[in-house]
Structure 1
């Protein structure tokens, strides 16, 4: 197996002292050069990872009628099942089916003139046919939250800030979003868009892959495959870290290419952002870093917002126009 992305061992961070400084150097290089890396030494057993992928396989194997009982279009909070072709990237249908959850919340009662992004909070939907999904996935989500908070504090040090520089943006708990995903094999040669090229809107993303390749990262040398590495998570930074560092750190475009005919791919993606009512801080970087910070990427088709809820809602509305049309006003959908 040829690995094309950096491999970072989190046990160096936990060791402290010189090993921690070594980890921070590697983290800074990986974030600047590629924006993606493999993470090992995170303490989550491979058997548990495999159990999550097995749970995903069991869910997607349910009869379509059972999956439809928790379809996302029933949820104004963008939670639940999305069938093949119903999520869009850059306006084109992604060839995947998925199940989305976030943290469990009561649905808010929005008053007039309150921001629409409050509607992202709410309850998850759970399939009655698999009662073990709720406790298993909520526990898994908590574990991945702890892991991303650790990484976020490491990134603060990479940027020569206090380790707690981002803590005020997650003091009430970060915004969490997780997907179980199934990519079926192609039914036509040109049907390649498992997921179209995009950046993630939050702070950090963790991806758990099965043994089938498909995730690709855009580098200076073109598209590079993030070949599955047993036991490792693939980690990438999102738009909020790009904004906070004034472009010193770059959120990287990535995509998923559909598997060949007769093959499927399973994955679990976890996205961590600041709490929705937070505003991402524009950090004051030391001169050595500031000179390399050219500002966040400017893309008129993808405006970036320092207000977290606005940035997260933008992505949800674009990806799920059916949910947007059902629950959100026209002027909000045009974000």
Structure 2
């Protein structure tokens, strides 16, 4: 088979998959027992985790509102060190209620596990919409398709109107988003102080004004050694907060090693994303 025919076959397979509007969950529901070719990743994209060599940083935000300057200084130093050396860290005692986080995970699962005839009304590749459900935003351009489906929405500064929302998860996403926005403002204050700036520097740059929520769903895979739920990538926003379920599976690249992020109960993972780094370089230098 020549290269052009192979490319044509892949394009046809991608379109056939996309046209179902049922995503990876639809394949699993149909009883697929082998991973389709479009999902198979090149062998060199699979990473082996490093166990024990590195300890992923966990920062306790219990004293985030403390008037004790010594406690706050220690907290800022921990944020500075984790941001410089990892670009990631977990936060505990962050103020987002555990029941809200648990309900958010249940809400995401409920959306993805509902009847496909209901779910597919939100399936689209028009990314100008504020509520988007599909499988792989880069379906037609990525070298391999990820084994996941995603429901996403813009929550700030202009959230969807009530009629745009899937009723099954509307209330919890709104509640969770409000909690995350409060935490985001506090984290931007800590990051600004860690850089030796005024506490409000990043928030005054409107870093806290936008919020996008992406709800990934990873169905059970019959051949997990052949594919990935999320291939290697960098986040392009200001700051990314990741809510994991108890299963985990997230890895980050640290000193040329892939390191497992432990699914710590009640924790959120903070990612210092690319756009924040660009803004800081532009404004500071």
Shorter-chain TM-score range: 0.7 to 0.9
Corresponding position of 1:317:
none
Distance (Å, rounded) in 2 between the aligned partners of 1:42 and 1:21: 17
How far off is 1:152 after superposition? 0.8
CA contact (8 A) 1:36 1:236 kept: yes
Distance (Å, rounded) in 2 between the aligned partners of 1:229 and 1:87: 30
Corresponding position of 2:35:
none
How far off is 1:90 after superposition? 4.8
Superposition TM-score, scaled by structure 1 size: 0.63
Bigger relative contact order (CA 8 A; separation at least 6): 2
1:156 aligns with 2:195: no
CA contact (8 A) 2:100 2:175 kept: no
Residues 139-218 of structure 1 mapped to structure 2, 5 A cutoff: 139-170=175-206, 174-218=209-253
User: Structure 1 105/204 Cα, relative in aligned 2: closer, same or farther at 3 Å?
Assistant: closer
Corresponding position of 1:42:
94
Corresponding position of 1:256:
none
Residues 38-77 of structure 1 mapped to structure 2, 5 A cutoff: 38-73=90-125, 76-77=128-129
User: Structure 1 104/235 Cα, relative in aligned 2: closer, same or farther at 3 Å?
Assistant: closer
1:283 aligns with 2:270: no
Distance (Å, rounded) in 1 between the aligned partners of 2:201 and 2:261: 30
SS in 2 for 1:224: strand
Aligned partner of 1:237 among 272, 278, 281: 272
SS in 1 for 2:201: coil
How far off is 1:92 after superposition? 3.1
Distance (Å, rounded) in 1 between the aligned partners of 2:109 and 2:70: 42
Larger radius of gyration: 2
Aligned partner of 1:134 among 170, 192, 197: 170
CA contact (8 A) 1:104 1:123 kept: no
Runs of 5+ unmatched residues, structure 1: 107-120, 247-280, 285-335
How far off is 1:184 after superposition? 1.6
User: Structure 1 105/175 Cα, relative in aligned 2: closer, same or farther at 3 Å?
Assistant: closer
Distance (Å, rounded) in 1 between the aligned partners of 2:75 and 2:181: 20
Corresponding position of 1:31:
83
How many residue pairs get aligned? The number is 231
CA contact (8 A) 1:66 1:127 kept: no
Corresponding position of 2:260:
225
1:10 aligns with 2:51: no
Name the one with the larger helix percent: 2
SS in 2 for 1:202: coil
SS in 2 for 1:209: coil
Runs of 5+ unmatched residues, structure 2: 1-50
